[in-house]
Structure 1
Amino acid sequence: MFNDTSSLLAHLATRRSGKARDMIAPGPDDATLRDIIVLALRTPDHGKLAPWRIVTVAAEQREAFATLLKASWVKENPGAAGLDLSALDQFAHQAPTLLVLISTPVAGSKIPVWEQQMSAGAVGMNLLHAAHAHGFVGSWLTGWAAYSPDVAAAFGAGEDDMIVGYFFLGTAARDLDERPRPDYDDVVRRWDI
């Protein structure tokens, strides 16, 4: 569609999510990851509350993350002990880089919680855009692990906080597939009064 990949239009037209399980090294080094996060923080934030936190999970912490996932799964699903939990191991170890984005709404603020949560979602989208701008592929995943109270608490989430998602970053092992997108006429209409 666009030949100039340095333009913002080309960036928006070419960004797509990759499958975390298909990501390979390299991922962003520490300086590049910092740049990605700093760019992501340039997000709409009504009231300047910064109602979100990002937790980095280093490569040497992935086994502890897998252990946390398995223990939490067994606790929340009695009878799961002894079952094959390899999918949780795979989730914890995929892609070279892992960030956990947490929505941390400021209680008592005049800014509605919903707006604060949308700001956290905007940070998530900016993480994906910034990773793409740096030549990496990203994947925003949720699932059970994003809704587990024990997992959230382990990442420092408070009672009213929630995990927005797990952001896996790395290099695509293969060309990314374009997924079907909504048809413009199906999702956009003119307001008729």
Structure 2
Amino acid sequence: MAVNPELKAYLQTRRSIPAFQMGEPGPSHDEIMEMLKLATRVPDHGKLAPWRFAVYRGAERERLSLALADVAMARNPELSEEMVKVEKSRLTRAPVVIAVLSRAAPHVKIPEWEQVMSAGAVCLNLLMAANALGYCSNWLTEWYAFDESVHPLLGIKPDEKVAGFIHIGTPTVPPFERPRPDVDSLVTFYGDA
């Protein structure tokens, strides 16, 4: 069996950069399209492509962030000044934000759960595709991912769920390591080696 040392080294050191620690430059249109093509190379039972993308960039990120902030402040007039600033910057922390939208639905042959997991695989592939093109990335789901009342603002259709908002940019700080799970405590082997 051939070992791929570059891929192994990447997986051993893969990290996310927090979205608020990203800056310009962000990926170009062509780079975004290349990332999306790479991201879709995932398990997809039945070739349904049960996901799609919404790409937020440029001034549209600020317009949407302010609209989301208006909703958050209307619901909670007691928001602290610091939280108001956070709400107003939701989609402006990184130069590009890509929503991976799950279109999982009942199917005669393909379980809906498999379709949902395919969207999750797209999110992870998109993180890695961004890294492969020299950018940093972070997979987030925040309140607006689950609040269907704001989905029309974000171009999310009624039959879609947010698998993740992938923030992409250039790191403004070096990546840091975080504690990782103790794999030995998570594995149960059955049968002989």
TM-score bracket, shorter-length normalisation: 0.7 to 0.9
Q: Which runs of 5+ in 1 are unaligned?
A: none
Instruction: Name the TM-score, length of structure 1 as normaliser.
Output: 0.88
RMSD: 2.2
Which residue of the other structure, out of 77, 80, 84, is the alignment partner of 1:80? Answer: 77
Question: SS in structure 2 opposite 1:94?
Answer: coil
Residues 85-104 of structure 1 correspond to what in structure 2 (within 5 A)? 85-104=84-103
2:166 maps to: 167
**Which residue type is aligned with residue 77 of structure 2?**
A
Residues 10-25 of structure 1 correspond to what in structure 2 (within 5 A)? 10-25=9-24
Q: Which runs of 5+ in 2 are unaligned?
A: none
2:69 maps to: 70
* 1:110-146 deviation per Cα after TM superposition (whole angstroms, max 9, x unaligned): 2111111100000000000101111111000112121
**Which residue type is aligned with residue 122 of structure 2?**
V
2:119 maps to: 120
* 1:148-189 deviation per Cα after TM superposition (whole angstroms, max 9, x unaligned): 102223333333421111111111111100111111211112
**Which residue type is aligned with residue 182 of structure 2?**
D
Residues 29-40 of structure 1 correspond to what in structure 2 (within 5 A)? 29-40=28-39
Instruction: Name the TM-score, length of structure 2 as normaliser.
Output: 0.88
Could you say if the C-alpha distance between residues 154 and 109 of structure 1 is closer, same or farther in structure 2, counting changes exceeding 3 Å?
A: farther
Q: Is the 8 Å Cα contact of residues 53 and 101 (structure 1) preserved in structure 2?
A: yes
Q: Is the 8 Å Cα contact of residues 11 and 133 (structure 1) preserved in structure 2?
A: no
Deviating above 4 A after TM superposition, structure 1's stretches of 4 or more consecutive aligned residues are none
Q: Is the 8 Å Cα contact of residues 53 and 101 (structure 2) preserved in structure 1?
A: yes
| In structure 2, C-alpha distance between the alignment counterparts of 1:47 and 1:72, rounded to whole Å | 39
Percent pairwise identity: 37
Could you say if the C-alpha distance between residues 82 and 140 of structure 1 is closer, same or farther in structure 2, counting changes exceeding 3 Å?
A: closer
**Which residue type is aligned with residue 104 of structure 2?**
P
Is 1:153 the counterpart of 2:122 in the alignment? no
* 1:38-84 deviation per Cα after TM superposition (whole angstroms, max 9, x unaligned): 10011111111111111001211012211331233245x2x428864
